[in-house]
Structure 1
């Protein structure tokens, strides 16, 4: 560790250390001298392999009374603790149970604030009030209103859920899967998508297509002020037409300054405190950006922020948890971060399954993609979502898990 763990400070419990996000939180806190106790969903969670973990506890995937008791017991054992969560589902659960966890202090938003962030329709309405451009959006509540929206839309159209967590149980009850993003090229295709949800009587949002790449702006809000900010541009995504970042570049804060201020105004309008990502689609041709959503949690490309020294997990632990504002280093804004396994999947799709790419405007350039993938291994400023020579365990554990999945197939 860069600093010795301070036994006088409370440990930080991290719930959900099964992904690169949890590993990033562990590394950032551990290097700052915080005792990190990881609460893992399974025994093969990659976070359990990090050298920066003071202790790992397998609590299982269930979010029930048994987990409440286990967290209370751990809190009693340590005297007190600060608890961070990774996923939206875990944050939702903790918001409901925070008063039942004894001496453990939960870092999570207020319930009404979190609901506003999870509901994309509410977020888009608030965004318009602070001058942020939003895609034209319809929120159907019946098959009839869905068909009316089909007639009114410009194509292609994008289909996404206003609140995926709320929709998921109802969809699963009727044997329907939740897809993060769907594209419809014309009215007939959009109509067929809507008919699929008749059994559940719940429908997603319909949004106009907005071209470009993902621009993420990240803020730590405290007392209505942005005490730390960071931003990145997505270079490649999985799936290729849009999903989560597999390659992203840090951007100088001198860029998109007006948009940063509007993002901060939006977070104030929401009433947000703590860490959040405001995600846009940036049209390279026009320079215009349209809001996609707010992520009120640590995001998928969080390792880039860790490599850059942004300190968002430290702020959550120290500023929200202890009322102490840590001294953070200057940002390193010259980095690129990669998730190689997702990059390989993306390359396979582009090279061998281009027909599966739903976005009708996605530009397929196999030679460019192969050259960029190979060249990035030689970039001195390249970093990785999982690989870190100071902490190789999580990457090795991920490769082990991947090999086991292949063997089972």
Structure 2
């Protein structure tokens, strides 16, 4: 391979950005990370070449990146969050000095808009849960008479309506469960004032199955998959512990996932997320994440080097090494995992999905046993790079201390 280009990672405040730093930096790439504050998670990584504070405001951030591009020369630009990707796509032409490691605006729209995603899924034969889009309370009341409960509410395109809901003082819940027609009507009634309603989707039993694919020119260049062992909140949200699955598991579903991304003319990395029912051995599509996903640390620890593969394929124009990854590896996001345990031990009444049942003592025993399980890894901690965890713990101690001091003064 020719001389490695430097890389810039916008958004090193999360375990996703930290995993990208580690994956690239450990392979000799000079990584510049941009975080919102000096205590950003990735700032303390041994693999970070240079850490910068993010400029305030859209115009200032773009100017900061352009100046950085002139300083570095040809470089690869990674972005983590959907909001940052949308921001950078608005200025894509002015960032031509970078090789951009994220999808363009049209492709991002095709996966952020669930109606477009579900239509494409139907065309390639992927099961989609029954999903209805009410436009008024009359629709809601009509649906309440025919739907099978429980149902799950989610927004078709949350980025587009976030500001409208915020202005009206309305919640933008990623998901919300309703167990009866009365609960559905009561929850949606406040949204009548803005005339915007979330999708109403049939409940799908099972566990979260994630299939991760690097696409280029209609071909899948690397694949990986995991199952969600635990989620926060327990009824479903994001993964607090996940486990890598063998490459030969769910092969038929992987073929469907690749076909779906090909149907969307996708370029780059994507996570195709399903709810898989082991009783019926069927999977229902939930969504596509058209970016580096929250459980990327598992892929990193397992040897599925998506940031590096993306860098090689799109940044350097080089073929990627089809190195096998480790299956059976678990990765824990310890703070959400602890919150999940506490919810199960002391607040089971607050778990929205009432079809779920948890046994307290086995959950506690499993939580402790995973600390000594040889195949357990962590979203933040890594023996070769311990400082991000130590710095994060230090920040937590300072934050808690300030909060206690403030409460003491008020008392």
Q: Is the 8 A contact 1:241 1:357 kept in 2?
A: yes
Instruction: Please tell me whether the aligned partners of residues 18 and 45 of structure 2 are also in contact (alpha carbons under 8 angstroms).
Output: yes
Structure 2 residue aligned with 1:381, among 375, 379, 388? 375
Q: Distance in 2 between matches of 1:173 and 1:93?
A: 21
Would you say 1:43 and 2:51 are equivalent positions? no
For the Cα contact (< 8 Å) 2:69–2:75, is it kept in 1? yes
- In the other structure, the counterpart of 1:168 is 162
Residue in structure 2 matching 1:9, options 4, 8, 15:
4
Superimposed CA distance per residue, residues 51-73 of structure 1 (whole angstroms, 9 cap, x where no aligned partner): 1000000015x451111111011
- CA–CA separation in structure 2 for the residues paired with 1:184 and 1:63: 39
Gaps of 5+ in 2: 404-411
Equivalent residues in 2 for 1:90-109, closer than 5 Å: 90-109=84-103
Match of 1:219 in 2: 213
Matches within 5 A, 1:175-190: 175-190=169-184
Q: Secondary structure at the match of 1:152?
A: coil
1:111-260 equivalence runs, <5 A? 111-260=105-254
CA contact (8 A) 1:309 1:328 kept: no
* Aligned Cα root-mean-square deviation (Å): 1.5
Q: Cα deviations across residues 181-206 of structure 1 (Å, max 9, x unaligned)? A: 10001001001111121223211110
CA contact (8 A) 1:75 1:102 kept: no
Q: What is residue 301 of structure 1 aligned with on the other side?
A: 295
TM-score (norm 1): 0.95
Equivalent residues in 2 for 1:279-294, closer than 5 Å: 279-294=273-288
CA distance in 1, matches of 2:121, 2:395: 41
Q: Equivalents in 2 of 1:86, 1:301: separation in Å?
A: 12
**Counterpart-to-counterpart distance in 1, 2:186 and 2:23:** 46
Deviations 1:246-304 (A, max 9, x none): 11110001111000000100001111111000000111222211110000011111000
CA distance in 1 between counterparts of 2:396 and 2:285 reads 35
Count of residue pairs the alignment pairs up? 403
CA distance in 2, matches of 1:182, 1:234: 19
Partner of 1:333: 327
Q: Secondary structure at the match of 1:153?
A: coil
Q: Secondary structure at the match of 1:197?
A: helix
Deviation at 1:378, TM superposition (A): 1.6
Q: Which runs of 5+ in 1 are unaligned?
A: 1-5
| Alignment match, 1:402 | 396
Paired with 1:131 and 1:401, the residues of 2 have a C-alpha distance of 48
Q: Which residue of 2 aligns with 1:34?
A: 29
State the SS of the aligned residue for 1:135. coil
The answer to whether the 8 A contact 2:222-2:322 is kept is no
CA contact (8 A) 1:237 1:247 kept: yes
Q: Is the Cα–Cα contact under 8 Å of residues 30 and 36 in structure 1 kept in the other structure?
A: yes
* 2:337 corresponds to 1:343: yes
1:275 has 2:306 as partner: no
| Higher mean C-alpha deviation, range 203-212 or range 123-132 | 123-132
Is 1:88 the counterpart of 2:82? The answer is yes
Q: Distance in 2 between matches of 1:391 and 1:284?
A: 37
